[in-house]
Amino acid sequence: MTEREGSIRLCSINAVDEKGRTALCRACKTGKYSEVKELLTNPVIDICLEDNSGLSPLEYAVKRNHLDCAALITDEAYRRLKNPNNEFLIKLRAELNPTEESTFDENLFRQSIENDPKAATKYLNQFAVSHNFVYEFKEMDKIFGVKNVKTSALASVLNDSILPSQLDEKLDCLKHPVLKRVLDIKWELFAAQKYYQQLILHILMLMALSNDLYSTSTFNEFNNIEYDEQNHGEWVKAIADVWVQPSFALWVFILVFCFFAFIHLRHLKPSLFLKLTRWMYDGKYEIQPNFVIPHAAVYKEKARSWLLRRTLLWTLFIVIPLVCFMKYVLPSISKTIVEWIILFNFYFTFIVVWLCALYFLLQEMQELLGEDPWIYECIQDANFFGKIFWRLALIFVPFFTPFMTAYRKYYASFTNKLQLVTFLLILGPYTIANWPQYFENAISTEYIAPFVTISLWMLSLQYLEVNKTAGYLLPVLSDVAGDAWDFLIIYGVFQIGITCAFYFIFRDVSEAYSTFWASFTSTYFVMYGAIGMDELTLGEGDDAITEAVLTFGYLLRMFQCAVMSILLINLLLAMMNKTVDRNWEKLQSRALTSYARAVLRLETMLGLNEVTRKNLMEISFSKGTSEFNPLFNEHISKLELSEQGIAMDNFVDDDEKNALTDKVNLLVQQNNELQKEVDEVKTEMKCQVQELKKSMHAQLEEILRITEVLGRTALCRACKIYEEVKKPLVDHMIDICLKDYLGLVPMEYALKPAEEPDFDENLFLLTIEIDADAAFTYLDQFVVSHNYDYEFKVMDKIFGTKNVNTSE
């Protein structure tokens, strides 16, 4: 067999054009149903292969509204899932078998992880060599990702599956030591520095936004300082009321901390971090080729702790004297400097918020363009003038991305859309409305500012993704939010009904129910304990209501408390508890998935192409030489992986693997010997059975010749026709369970499948009353199973031909 004939990747049916599209992909895009159906008859066709823009055949079919083509692909995926030994998977597994010269293949791994995650896990085993206490990894540069982030192994694992049921199995692959090591390498090379940089700026923006209220209040009070001076008697005492307050001291601390944090953040660059790790090991701040630090993870953790302690110490060393000086000394030295600081802080707060929002918006644009890095590849391959053109085009591309299919995954995320809206509001309406000459504008303070503040605090939750123990809280929170949404459907029925009832009764006698919105809010807060009994009054004059109506209102409120505050709330808690319990076993995997998605998002923001990725993986030395970062060749302690709870449970050592192999070979040998014995016994029994059948057949023929009856009752003979069955059943003494000489009862004759099955409503009604299992067997003859679907017969009669009483 040639390589082209045996390899799925080189098979002509899976050949791709210049855009990376297969024949199936093109057929789904144009909606050619017959062509898609014909292509799917080829057993080795890849139904998951994506093109250069990241779209699979199924996504093209759904995107272009060719739902019939999408159904065909989904059915084929389901068939392959139910038949794990189909020809496609057999050939795929054959290619995944390790060889002496095997190297990591991104496309092969992507095919395997999409079609058979278990086989992909076994494929990764050959790149992790287990020794006594450590793992040795191979081909880590290729597993890291050669071309771009879209084709990397990590992106393949986190990509959505055609069948949602396969997604959890794919994500379990992240527990494999190889992928865990890839995550650690990416975190150390670029993700850690990028993550802490964004975290620091996010904290700075949050504190600046929170300090906005303080700076505005201080600025307004400082303008009225003459009034305060008249009341307090002296300027120093007056300024103390509006000068350094705890919120301002915290703002100063955040500013100084961010300053020193950015200074120390540069030490997380690969080359500098290697030097710092070496310094922690033997006191030498340098890197040398082929120098290996034993137990490097210990010294790396020590280096990170040293950076954090140094940042905090320098911050406290500067902030404490500075705040004390500003609070107690500066007002008595210079009134002008205090005025300048207050005025500067007022403008500086808005500038910091605006610049941080601009930074994060640019980061979101980089993440967006990283979904399809075609423009970066154009810049890389172009000449001087071409580079200028494509860089100018880079400015306008983001405005067209909402209409381009390659960026659909970015806009499918609610978090991404919330970030874009929040940062655009800060850059535009919020900053303009809060500038001094626009203070009279109340839109920002009443609408925009609360939304922006809440949004930024909510977005801060995404920084928990990198926490490998608390990261599971985010998907759990999403699941629980889904329960709350389902609960609102039931709750809304009662809430609207109660709102309307109280509005009709008390709209003229109580302000709490004077409008529909007021009635809604008054009844809504009852769920949280605000009973509001004082709001139910009789009224006066023409608006008075009777005592009976008031009593009815009290009863209605009692009903509301019982149903909404007790029954429905406990129902919601039970739903949430069940959701958490259902996903509790997957928490470790989901926490690791959150961490992996965060790393992938940071990698997407970098927009790395093939050249920049190679430069990132290399370390330059003082003599002008460069080589791969030693990070790719480090031996990792098994204890480190097991303590993090990441190592695969089914990943075995070499010694264990050899022992298991010997046991398997022994069992195979024993099985072969037993199989021979079984075959001999089976052959002998077949001969005996044939002789017995001949003897029984001869005896049966003799019996039938002597007697023409088989012991069948009248009921047995009539059971095929409903009208004939009713006659013998009139006699209440008839035995409906009497067997004939062949051991068959009347029910079995009635339900025995015919060559041309025909459904009898009356017979089915009679059967379902006597024996439900027999009725179920009777229905089997009207269902024919094919590869992708079921074919049903005589459904018009099963539907019911006479009336509802005779239907199933």
**Helix segments in 405-515, DSSP class H:** 408-411, 414-425, 431-433, 443, 449-459, 473-506
450 phi and psi angles, rounded to 5 deg: -60, -40
> Can you give the pLDDT at residue 650?
46
Q: Which amino acid is at 483?
A: D
Identify which of 135-149, 182-196, 371-385 has the greatest average pLDDT.
Answer: 182-196
Average pLDDT value for residue range 767-774: 70
- Paired strand residues for 135: 130, 636
Closest CA to 143 of 129, 114, 123: 123
Which of 533, 599, 540 lies closest to 560 in space, CA to CA?
Answer: 533
Hey, what amino acid is at 334? S
Q: Residue 648 — pLDDT band, cuts 50, 70, 90?
A: very low
The rounded Cα 484 to chain-centroid distance in angstroms is: 18
State how far the alpha carbon of 529 is from the alpha carbons of 334, 467, 522, in Å.
54, 37, 11
Tell me the angle at which helices 414-425 and 335-370 cross, rounded to the nearest 10 degrees.
140
Pick from 209, 185, 221, 320: nearest CA to 630: 185
- The residue type found at 339 is E
Instruction: Write out the H or E segment, with its range, that includes residue 594.
Output: helix 587-606
Cα 722 to the chain's mean position, in Å? Answer: 57
- C-beta contacts of 722-725 below 8 A and 24+ residues apart: 722/760, 722/762, 722/763, 722/766, 725/750, 725/763, 725/766
Angle at 587 between CA 586 and CA 588, to 5 degrees: 95
pTM for this predicted structure: 0.74
Number of Cα atoms under 13 Å in the Cβ half of residue 275: 12
Backbone angles phi, psi at 441, to 5 degrees: -75, 120
Structure tokens given for 248 = 């301002």
Task: Tell me if 449 sits within 8 A of 556, measured CB to CB.
Answer: no
Residue found under tokens 């369970």? 737
Domain regions of the chain by residue span: 1-126, 476-587, 666-708, 714-806
Q: Backbone phi, then psi, for 173, in 5-degree steps?
A: -65, -20
Contact (Cβ atoms closer than 8 angstroms) between residue 144 and residue 632? yes
Which residue in 52, 55, 62 sits closest to 16, CA to CA? 52
Spatial distance between the Cα atoms of 27 and 46, rounded to a whole number of angstroms: 13
Residues 122 and 112: their CA atoms lie apart, in Å, by 10
57/46 Cα distance (integer angstroms):
10
Q: Tell me what pLDDT residue 256 has.
A: 94
Q: Give dist(CA 210, CA 356) in Å, integer.
A: 14
pLDDT band, residue 408 (cuts 50/70/90): confident
Top-confidence residue, 217 or 91 = 91
Structure tokens, 328: 């107690």
Q: Does residue 583 surpass a pLDDT of 50?
A: yes
- Measured distance CA(124)–CA(113) in Å, rounded: 11
Q: 162, 578 in Cβ contact below 8 A?
A: no
CA distance 193 to 365: 19
For the record, the structure tokens of 525 come out as 């807060």
Give the mean pLDDT of 260-286.
90
pLDDT at 11: 74
Please state, in angstroms and rounded to a whole number, the distance separating the CA atoms of residues 39 and 69: 11
Separation CA 198–CA 360 (nearest Å): 8
What pLDDT is recorded for position 147? 77
Distance of alpha carbon 296 from alpha carbon 634, whole angstroms = 8
Q: What is the pLDDT of residues 390-405, one digit of tens each?
A: 778 777 777 878 877 6
Q: What is the pLDDT of residues 684-740, one digit of tens each?
A: 887 887 778 777 766 655 655 544 455 555 555 555 555 555 555 555 555 556 555
The number of residues making up the chain comes to 808
Higher-confidence position of 449 and 315: 315
Q: For residues 426-450, give the mean pLDDT.
A: 68
Residue 509, pLDDT > 60, answer yes
> Cα(461)–Cα(468) distance, rounded to whole angstroms?
14
Query: pLDDT of 121-143, one tens digit each?
Result: 888 888 888 887 888 888 888 88
Of the CA atoms within 13 Å of residue 134, those in its CB half-sphere come to 11
Mean pLDDT of 412-439: 80
Q: What is the pLDDT of residue 647?
A: 43
pLDDT of residue 707: 45
CB of 373 within 8 A of CB of 273? no
Residue 437: DSSP 8-state:
G
pLDDT band for position 646 (cuts 50, 70, 90): very low
The predicted-structure confidence for 204-240, as pLDDT tens digits, reads as follows 999 888 877 666 666 555 555 554 554 544 555 555 5
SS3 category, 760? coil
What is the model's pLDDT at position 150? 78
Handedness of CA 721, 722, 727, 730 (dihedral sign): positive
Q: Give the contacts of 43 (CB within 8 A, at least 6 positions apart).
A: 86, 87, 88
Burial of 691 (0-12, 13-18, 19+ CB in 10 A): exposed
Measured distance CA(119)–CA(123) in Å, rounded: 6
The CATH number that domain 1-126 falls under is: 1.25.40.20
Average pLDDT taken over every residue of the chain? 78
Q: Of 370, 366, 368, 372, which Cα lies nearest the Cα of 52?
A: 372
- Give residue 644's pLDDT band: very low, low, confident or very high (50, 70, 90): low
Torsion of CA 486, 490, 494, 496, to 10 degrees: 50
* CA gap 699, 696 in Å, rounded: 5
> For residue 372, what is the enclosing H or E element?
none
Per-residue DSSP letter, 753: P
Give the model's confidence band at 260: pLDDT under 50 very low, under 70 low, under 90 confident, else very high: very high
> Cβ-count burial of 715 within 10 angstroms (0-12 exposed, 13-18 middle, 19+ buried)?
buried
Is residue 519 within 8 A of residue 503, CB to CB? The reply is: yes
Q: Which residue has the higher pLDDT, 808 or 802?
A: 802
- With the C-alpha atoms ordered 519, 522, 524, 527, is the resulting torsion angle positive or negative? negative
The radius of gyration of the chain from alpha carbons, rounded to an integer in Å, stands at 38
Q: Distance (Å, rounded) from C-alpha 190 to C-alpha 606?
A: 9
> What integer pLDDT is reported at residue 196 of this predicted model?
94
Q: pLDDT band at residue 265, thresholds of 50, 70 and 90?
A: very high
Q: Position 798: which residue type?
A: I
Say what the pLDDT of residue 3 is. 40
CA–CA dist 552, 559 (Å, integer): 10
Compute φ and ψ for 304, nearest 5 degrees. -65, -45
CA distance 41 to 34: 11
Which stretch of 194-203, 408-417, 569-578 has the lowest confidence by average pLDDT? 408-417
DSSP state, residue 783: E
Average the pLDDT over 762-786 and give the result.
73
pLDDT(442) > 60? no
Query: Is the predicted pLDDT of residue 658 greater than 50, yes or no?
Result: yes
Alpha-carbon distances, residue 215 vs 349, 439, 561 (angstroms):
8, 13, 45
Cα 74 to Cα 70: distance, rounded to the nearest angstrom: 6
Distance separating alpha carbons of residues 775 and 375, to the nearest angstrom: 65
Greatest CA span in the chain, whole angstroms?
135
Closest-CA residue to 592 (of 176, 211, 242): 176
Instruction: Please state the rounded mean pLDDT for residues 601-614.
Output: 79
CA dihedral 514, 516, 520, 522 (to 10 degrees): 0
